[in-house]
Structure 1
Amino acid sequence: MKLLIKGGRIINPADNMDTVGDILIEDGRIAEIGQNLAIDGAEILDAAGLVVTPGFVDMHVHLREPGLEAKEDIASGTRAAAAGGFTTVACMPNTKPVVDNSILVSGLIQRGQTEGVVNLKIIGALSKGLEGKELAEIGDMIQAGVVAISDDGGHLDSTRLLKTGLEYTGMFGRPVITHSEDEELASEGFMHEGEVSAMLGLKGRPSVAEDIAVAKDIMLAEYTNSPIHIAHVSSKGAVELIRQAKQRGVKVTAEVTPHHLTLTDDELKTFNTAFKVNPPLRSADHVEALVAGLKDGTLDAIATDHAPHAFEEKDVEFRYAPSGFAGLETALGVVLTGLYHTGKLTLLEVIEKMSYRPAKILGLESGVLKVGAPADITIIDTEYQWTVDCIKFYTRGKHSPFEGRNLRGKSLITIVNGSIIMQNGEVLK
């Protein structure tokens, strides 16, 4: 099958390409990139006035399978990804049972091939059962195909175990992804500790809890000379610690979410559980530092931390609601509206943070537009105006802090391995 994408604005962050042209796809891969291509027998896809980018890569999602399918499963989660313009997602291991062995990894890879509509990558647990006591079967899981190792869902308290884990994963060149937040300081809090939490009378999660954990994780990565990736950075102190570590040559990368980049703790004055997330939404000074860190390269990637819950779980009093919400279908619109259209990031920078950089961190061959690369492509309309309606989501998670908001920018077409998977908001598989 041949597919010819005609006349789009092609943006490829890997080589700073930004030009109007055509892309020919054959047998699931990019066969040619140029101007005025004419190929007999090819299906023509008119992209005039649209932006053609590498398929987006989300390196931090919770698809809840196995064991928590009432919240999400591979079928619904990957369809949500396709609707949002993502061609690859990497799912976290905090499921029931925990993904801490090669048998579960192989099973999930197979499930992704049969039930998923985008490329599914697996992240394995660092410790058995996420209990922080004994290393999981890291070597076997890496051989089975995991792209990273993580005990995400909580911070690993055992310094010894994290050191050992970094020494082990470093031999394979795989990153450890850490949820960096000191549990003793943060565990009983419901939101960012600050003026708003004091006004509302809610116990807070102090930003210094994140700073302390990030400092420890960076020091261990530096000591072991192993790659570490800091998940969902939310504090200005953490940004500065990561910046300094990179200047020293530490193998540290980091991600930030669309909600931490665009929302503050002021939103929680409504006690709407859709805004409850971990780490919490912080004050405006932290948001400014996150945007600056993304701009200067301190923060490498934008990841959604897509964490859907069943409707009844979030439909409770604020303090009892679980943290997290659906993020795959709103991420691009939120980032374009809040960062690109406000002039805080260029379009090239947005696309780099959502495709090329996360793919590179995970060691994937996707995230680029070049001859021979997988034909994982997202076509977006940066001016498309739409209103978030959770009821229309493909994900089972129907809570979003962006419900009812008017956004500017949307993915119109998602192509995975050369096949059109989503077009004009409709997932075709």
Structure 2
Amino acid sequence: MKLLIKGGRIINPAEQMDMTGDIVIEQGKIVAIGQNLTADGGQVIEAAGLVVAPGLIDMHVHLREPGLEAKEDIASGTRAAAAGGFTTVACMPNTKPVVDNSILVSGLIQRGQTEGVVNLKIIGALSKGLEGKELAEIGDMIAAGAVAISDDGGHLDSTRLLKTGLEYTGMFQRPVITHSEDEELAGEGYMHEGAVSAMLGIKGRPAVAEDIAVARDIMLAEYANSPIHIAHVSSKGAVEIIRQAKRRGVKVTAETTPHHLTLTDEELKSFNTAFKVNPPLRSADHREALIAGLKDGTLDAIATDHAPHAFEEKDVEFRYAPSGFAGLETALGVVLTGLYHTKKLTLMEVIDKMSYAPAKILGLESGVLKVGAPADITIIDTEYKWDVNCINFYTRGKHSPFEGRNFKGKALITIVNGSIIMQNGEVLK
């Protein structure tokens, strides 16, 4: 099938390209980029006034399959991704059973091909069963197609095991993705430790717990000379530690989330469990440090940490609710509304952080608009106004801290491997 995207504003961070033009797609690949192009017999998408970007990539999602399909599965999760404008997602291994061997990696890749509607990438576990005692089958999982290794879902306490894991993954130049928060310090806290937690009488998780863990993890990566990626950075101390490490030449990359960039712990005064996340929403000074870290390149990517739960799991008292919410369908709207339209990030920076940078970190050939590249493309209306209604989500997770909010900016068309998968909010597969 031939497809012509006509007259859109093409933004390609890989080449710092920002131009009005056309893109021709054939057999799943981009075959031409320019102006006044034609595609005889092909379908034409009129994109005047719209942004044509490399497909959005979320390098940190929890699709819950295998074993936790009441929360989400590959079919529902990838449809939520398509609805949000994402063409590729990478899922974490904290499932039941844990994705800690090549058979599960291969099986999930196959499931993605049969049940998914966007490109599905698999992240394998660092330790067997996520128990932090023995390395998982890292080499076999990478050979089977795992794009990264992680014990995300909790902090790996064993310094020895992380050092060994980094030395091993370094041979493959695949990143270890760490959830960096010292659990002994964070304890059983339910929110950011600060003025709001004190006022509410809720036990807090201090920001220094994140800072200490980030420092340790980076020091081990520096010693092993291996790539490390710090997930969902939320503290200003962690941003500065990463900044200094990059100046030293450490192979460290980092992400933060749409919710940590736009919300603060003030939201928890409502005791709405949708705002309970891990790491927690922090105070405004931390949020501003995250934005500054994105601007100066300290933080490389924006990832959702999409973590849906069954409705009844979140519909409990605040302290008993699990952390996380479904973020794939709101992420672009949050970032465009809260960061682009407020002039905190440029559109080039938004696309870079949500497409090109994640592709580079995971070693993917997507995230770019060039001849010969996969035709994974997101077409965005930055002025489109819409309201968040969780009931209409494709994900099974129906909780969101953004419920009822008004956003400006939305993906109108998601193209995966040359096929239109989502158009005007409707997933077509």
Matched, 1:254 2:254: yes
Tell me the residue number matched to 2:339.
339
3-state secondary structure, aligned to 2:24: strand
What does residue range 133-282 of structure 1 map to in structure 2 within 5 Å?
Answer: 133-282=133-282
Task: For residue 187 of structure 1, report the CA deviation from its aligned partner.
Answer: 2.8
Q: Measure, in 2, the Cα distance between the counterparts of 1:303 and 1:374.
A: 21
1:79-109 residue CA offsets vs partner (Å, 9 max, x unmatched) = 0000000000000000000000000000000
Superposed counterparts of 1:121-132, under 5 Å = 121-132=121-132
For 1:57, the aligned partner's letter is I
Aligned residues of 2:29 and 2:374 also touching (Cα < 8 A): yes
The separation in 1 between residues aligned to 2:40 and 2:80, in whole angstroms, is: 34
Alignment of 1:272-351 (within 5 A): 272-351=272-351
Counterpart of 2:64 in 1: which secondary structure? coil
Unaligned runs of 5+ in 1: none
C-alpha RMSD over aligned residues = 0.3
1:329-372 residue CA offsets vs partner (Å, 9 max, x unmatched): 00000000000000000000000000000000000000000000
Counterpart in the other structure of 2:421:
421
What corresponds to 1:77 in structure 2?
77
Contact 2:264–2:281 (Cα < 8 Å) also in 1: yes
- Please give the per-residue CA displacement for 1:180-230, whole angstroms capped at 9, x wherever unaligned: 000101131000000000000000000000000000000000000000000
Q: Is 1:388 the counterpart of 2:388 in the alignment? A: yes
**Amino acid of the structure 1 residue aligned with 2:91:** C
Map of 1:402-417 to 2, 5 A cutoff?
402-417=402-417
Letter in 2 for 1:258: P
**1:41 offset after TM fit, Å?**
1.1
Which of 42-51 and 409-418 deviates more?
A: 42-51
Task: Give 2:324's aligned amino acid.
Answer: G
Deviates more, 1:33-42 or 1:177-186: 33-42
How far off its partner does 1:40 sit? 1.2
Scaled by the length of structure 1, the TM-score of the pair is: 1.00
Taking the aligned partners of 1:53 and 1:291, their CA distance within structure 2 comes to 22
Task: After TM superposition, give the deviation of residue 175 of structure 1 in Å.
Answer: 0.1
Answer yes or no: is the 8 Å Cα contact 2:3–2:39 preserved in 1: no
Q: Distance in 1 between matches of 2:41 and 2:78?
A: 31
Tell me the residue number matched to 2:398.
398
Show the counterpart of 1:377: 377
Give structure 2 stretches of 5+ with no counterpart: none
- The one-letter amino acid paired with 1:195 is A
Match of 1:104 in 2: 104
* 1:163-194 alpha-carbon deviations (Å, 9 max, x no partner): 00000000001000000000101131000000
Secondary structure of the 1:253 match is strand
Whichever residue aligns with residue 241 of structure 1, its letter is I
TM-score (norm 2): 1.00
The 5 Å alignment of 1:10-49 reads 10-49=10-49
Identity %: 89
- 1:373, distance to aligned residue in structure 2 (A): 0.1
* Secondary structure, aligned partner of 1:254: strand
Describe the superposition over 1:258-278 as per-residue Cα deviations: whole angstroms up to 9, x where unpaired: 000000000000000000000
Which residue of the partner structure matches residue 6 of structure 1? 6
Q: Secondary structure at the match of 2:356?
A: helix
> Could you tell me how far apart the structure 2 residues matched to 1:231 and 1:355 are?
16
Offset at residue 38 of structure 1 (A): 1.6
1: distance between equivalents of 2:40 and 2:145? Answer: 38
Q: CA–CA distance in 2 between the matches of 1:93 and 1:25?
A: 34
The AA in structure 2 aligned to 1:271 is F
1-structure distance, mates of 2:295, 2:339:
10
Inter-partner Cα distance in structure 2 for 1:76 and 1:39: 34
- After TM superposition, give the deviation of residue 39 of structure 1 in Å: 2.2
Q: Could you report, residue by residue, the CA deviation over 1:250-295 in whole angstroms, capped at 9, with x for unpaired residues?
A: 0000000000000000000000000000000000000000000001
CA distance in 2, matches of 1:177, 1:39: 42
Partner of 2:357: 357
Q: How many residues align?
A: 429
Corresponding position: 1:115 with 2:98: no
Distance in 2 between residues matched to 1:87 and 1:265, nearest whole Å: 31
Structure 1 residue 325: deviation in Å?
0.2
For the residue of structure 2 that corresponds to 1:89, the secondary structure is strand
Amino acid at match of 2:404: G
State the alpha-carbon separation in 2 of the partners of residues 97 and 59 from structure 1.
21
> Which SS does the other structure have where 1:246 is aligned?
helix
Distance (Å, rounded) in 1 between the aligned partners of 2:366 and 2:351: 13
Per the alignment, residue 50 of structure 1 pairs with 50
